[in-house]
Amino acid sequence: MAGGGSIPRPGEISLAHNGVLFLDELPEFDRRVLEVLRQPLEEGRVTIARAARTSAFPARFMLVAAMNPCPCGFLGDRRRACRCSDPQIQRYASRISGPLRDRIDLVVEVPAIGSSVRANGAANGGEASADIRTRVIDARGRQQQRFGHGSQKLNRQLEGSELNDHCRLGSRSTNVLEAAIQKFCLSARGCDRVLRVSRTIADLAGCPAIATEHVAEALQYRFSEPSPSIRQR
């Protein structure tokens, strides 16, 4: 995954530089392999140390990972009963460490597919792909204006004073974020990531300033997890 060898060579993480790294069945990966992702997700590079030399490879990628809600895969499915015990579900979820979770910006629970599947999202009440593409292009244009034309910088790279300058919050938004920090024990890293996601949500909505609903949506993505309370027996 990270690369290596006596003469260090890049691995899958670096080969995904400026692209997408998709990991299916995330908890099935070895814990040591998953922990390797922490440095590149934070710094955009991976370092390989050997006796003769230390090499650093670029690794700024978009991580997309998928996992089942439980070992059997039916937690929350209203058509098939989940037969996993609570300890089994907790052990399964704990395969993804807290520090790694803290570096993942969006967590979205995807419900099981129903009996009716339509190819066109717009026909099923969703937004058409062409419309989404237009909004994304417009949002990227706003980021270019923010960081200067010709710049490849994105909101996810905001740090320090730039984060403070471009992710200013009003009093209501600040109260919402502070409440989340207290309730969910949000770390400093997690707080910064919520601000970056909020900034992008505001860009997608065409808003120059981050509003309370943008912060609330970013928090919802961060703490979205399957609930054992809807498990059927």
| pLDDT at 112 > cutoff 80 | no
Neighbours of 93 (CB within 10 A): 15
User: What is the Cα 42 distance to its own chain's centre?
Assistant: 12
Q: How far is CA 216 from each of CA 8, 63, 143, 155, rounded to the nearest angstrom? A: 43, 23, 21, 18
In the three-class reduction of DSSP (H, G, I as helix; E, B as strand; rest coil), residue 71 is classed as coil
Q: CB burial class (10 A; 0-12, 13-18, 19+) of residue 68?
A: middle
pLDDT of residue 5: 81
Neighbours of 73 (CB within 10 A): 14
Confidence of residue 163 (pLDDT cuts 50, 70, 90): very high
The span from the CA of 26 to the CA of 97, in Å, is 11
Confidence of residue 224 (pLDDT cuts 50, 70, 90): low
Least confident of 97-101, 176-180, 224-228: 224-228
| pLDDT at 116 > cutoff 60 | no
Percent residues over pLDDT 70 in the chain:
91
Q: How far is CA 176 from each of CA 102, 169, 220, rounded to the nearest angstrom? A: 19, 10, 12
Residues with Cβ < 8 Å from 56, sequence gap 6 or more?
45, 46, 47, 48
Q: What digits encode the pLDDT tens for the residues 185-209?
A: 999 999 999 999 999 999 999 999 9
119-139 average pLDDT score: 80
43-68 average pLDDT score: 90
pLDDT of residue 114: 60
129-157 average pLDDT score: 91
Residues with Cβ < 8 Å from 193, sequence gap 6 or more?
102, 103, 105, 222
